Amino acid sequence: MEFELTEIQSLIQSTVKEFAQTAVAPIAAEIDRTHRFPEELIPQLAELNLLGVPYPEEVGGAGADNLSYVLVIEELARVCASTAVIVSAHTSLGTWPIYQFGTEAQKVKYLSKLASGEWLGAFALTEPGAGTDAAAGKTTAVLEGDEWVLNGSKIFITNGGYADVYVVTAMTDPSKGTKGISAFIVDKDAPGFSVGEKEHKLGIKASSTTPLYFNDCRIPKDAILGEIGKGFKIAMQTLDGGRIGISAQALGIAQGALDAAVIYAKERVQFGKPIANQQAIQWMIADMATQIDAARFLVYRAAWNKDNGLPYSKEAAMAKLYAAETASFVANKAIQIHGGYGYTENYPVERALRDAKITEIYEGTSEVQRMVIAGSVLR
Amino acid sequence: MKVIACYKWVLDEADLKVDAKSRALLTDRTKNKISEYDRNAIECGVQLTEQVGGEVVALTAGTANSKNSLKDALSRGPAQAVWVKDELMSQADSAVTAKILAGAVRKIEEFDLVVCGEGSSDEYAQQVGIRMGQLLNIPVITFVNKVEVKDGILRAERKLEEGIEVVEVKFPALITVLPDVNTPRIPSLKQILGAAKKPVQELSIADCGLSPADTESKVSRESVLGTVMERKQIRVQGEVTEMVQQIVDLLNKEGLC
């Protein structure tokens, strides 16, 4: 067992760190403050092959492994959790279902554009009445001749309004419960499809989170993704991978907050010496660093399992559960170490706390992760 | 056009810590990186070959640890890398380094241009490039902040204290570049992954045509100590005009204005 990254993984990590520091960090506070989606970053991310990291070169991706993908998300989240989730939602949720379940024709039409970053992807499962109870969705899809007609709405969709393609779940047979849900690929300009107003959120404010509306939205018959009635399974498997991305985001948020706290603790002088000399602060730093490293190995292990063809559902759930709760814990302590200054917008730690919270909620709440883990352990 | 871009694998100063009492450099957790100005040199070579065709060979001399630099260098555009490996490089002075690199260049044989950083980001002796040019008996242009190649002629702008000097030279030649010659591009993931497939040639000192006597440094490093900034933590208060006067008085007291 080795606990070190390979040479190439280390190089990917240091390269993305450089990009994050030079291109993302300088705008992170501003896009958070103004709730601005960083459109200018998308072509830059695409040029560095950061929008298709784990997909083969033949389909337009970078050809790297899932552990490298985790490193990319972590380094981005270290400076900007919004940018990290834009990439993660596109890669794990918007692109993966098409890569995994798409027909050859669908892959030709969509995959290289998504994996290369020419197009942005999104994933639409959640509805106003169907969050954790994902199977309770009411959006319907009815086959009329050569077209599916979708009616309903989705809510809290990441990359909403900026994505070119949406993977959408809808009920094709309400009588069959979860087996009556199917998945579809919806182009942004599909007739009857519209995007609602952006949500005003506590955190990840630069990430666009919107409702989607389907009013007799017509898509071609061959826009169905996978088999009819397999949409729920597709969604659950998609979320398993998405959890690895979000756990990496949470890990990055936590690491960024710790980095800031260490710098501050060494510089802030009270009672004639840096507060880093005070045991109360040292113990906080120790707890933060230890939890982050524990989270790190859970996240990396989940990615490693996926790379090596091993089951990763439980491992991804553990990683997301622990990393998300670690991010909130560390961000909270980081503000405490910063004292009054940490409560102001002049330091990045208040943003870290606001950004951390959502990682305990989306792509499966921490409660859902506990259900998945217990379900696996108690089998 | 064949360009040889030289680089040095140095300690990353961002990771360096200084012991407050002894001022010794604490390097146990320090990573290495390609020296900043050498990144400019590699980028310069790659940009020139993108414009006029050809390839870049990345060249370095270092201890066994330098092996970790090769994929980094190759990810930045060179088609291949040549690496002279010897533990004596940890103590080699500029003269020895130049002899070794010049020997490696002779081993590579055909080339048009050698590009070096103006100096390394650790010692910044600014000698290796010039010494190499002398050893290879080729013209050297230093302090280059702008360069282009046209019809086999290299035209360079040199940023000097008095102004900008424009010079032209025929190949083969050697240039040393300043950091404002370009902004090194960040490698893409495909470039990083592709680096693992590019050829690397490892050379010994003997392969470079040198004997142990040739590699005896005349300059030795006795010690390297860091500086520690002691903060005075003086706070000025009052009206703006009063605060300004207080600051001026303090600076005067320190002999700083």
Q: Would the CB atoms of A11 and B189 count as touching at under 8 Å?
A: no
Asked if omega into B184 is within 30° of 0 (cis), the reply is: no
- ipTM of this predicted structure: 0.91
- In terms of pLDDT, which residue wins out, A36 or A241? A36
Q: Which of A64, A109, A214, A89 is nearest to B190 (CA)?
A: A64
Angle at which helices A279-307 and A66-79 cross, to 10°: 150
Q: Which amino acid is at A209?
A: T
Q: Would the CB atoms of A63 and B190 count as touching at under 8 Å?
A: yes
Q: Which residue on chain A is closest to B188 by alpha carbon? A: A48
Nearest to A48 among B68, B189, B196 (CB): B189
Minimum mean pLDDT range among A96-105, A250-259, B219-228: B219-228
Q: Would the CB atoms of B192 and A269 count as touching at under 8 Å?
A: no
CB burial string B2-31: b at 16+ within 10 A, e below: bbbbbbbbbbeeeeeeeeeeeeebeeeebe
Measure in Å the smallest separation between the Cα of A318 and chain B Cα atoms. Answer: 28
The CATH superfamily holding the domain B2-228 is: HUPs (3.40.50.620)
Calpha distance B77→B58 (Å, rounded): 9
> A11 and chain B: CB distance < 8 Å anywhere?
yes
Q: Which residues contact B257 (CB under 8 A, 6 or more apart)?
A: B248, B251
Would you say how long chain B is, in residues? 257
Percent of chain A with pLDDT over 70: 100
Q: Would the CB atoms of A11 and B190 count as touching at under 8 Å?
A: no
pLDDT tens, per residue, chain B with 257 residues? 999 999 999 999 888 888 878 888 888 888 999 999 999 999 999 999 999 999 999 999 999 999 999 999 999 999 999 999 999 999 899 999 999 999 999 999 899 999 999 998 888 889 999 999 999 999 999 999 999 999 889 999 999 999 999 999 999 999 999 999 999 999 999 999 999 999 999 999 999 999 888 888 888 888 888 877 777 777 888 889 889 998 998 888 888 87
Q: Which of A251, A194, A195 is nearest to A72 (CA)?
A: A251
53-112 of A, contacting B, C-beta below 8 A: 53, 57, 62-64, 68, 72
Q: Which of A197, A350, A363, A367 is catalytic?
A: A363
Our answer to whether residue A30 is catalytic in this structure is no
Give pLDDT, residue B214. 85
Calpha distance A358→A324 (Å, rounded): 8
> A30 and chain B: CB distance < 8 Å anywhere?
no
> A19 and chain B: CB distance < 8 Å anywhere?
yes
CATH topology of domain A7-115: Butyryl-Coa Dehydrogenase, subunit A; domain 1 (1.10.540)
Domain ranges of chain A: 7-115, 121-231, 233-377
Q: What is the pLDDT of residues A101-142, one digit of tens each?
A: 999 999 999 999 999 999 999 999 999 999 999 889 999 999
> Which residues does residue A225 pair with via DSSP β-bridges, in sequence order?
A183
Q: Going by CATH, does the domain composed of A233-377 fall within 1.20.140.10?
A: yes
Minimum mean pLDDT range among A74-83, A338-347, B90-99, B214-223: B214-223
Q: Which of A49, A51, A67, A116 to mutate to test the interface with B (most CBs of B within 10 A)?
A: A49
Give pLDDT, residue B242. 86
CATH number of A121-231: 2.40.110.10
Q: Which of B154, B174, B169, B187 is nearest to B34 (CA)?
A: B187
As given in the structure block, the two tokens for residue B192 are 């990083």
Domain ranges of chain B: 2-228
Distances (CA, A) of A148 to A102, A109, A193, B72: 17, 18, 13, 50
Q: Give B-chain residues touching A18 at CB under 8 angstroms.
A: 186
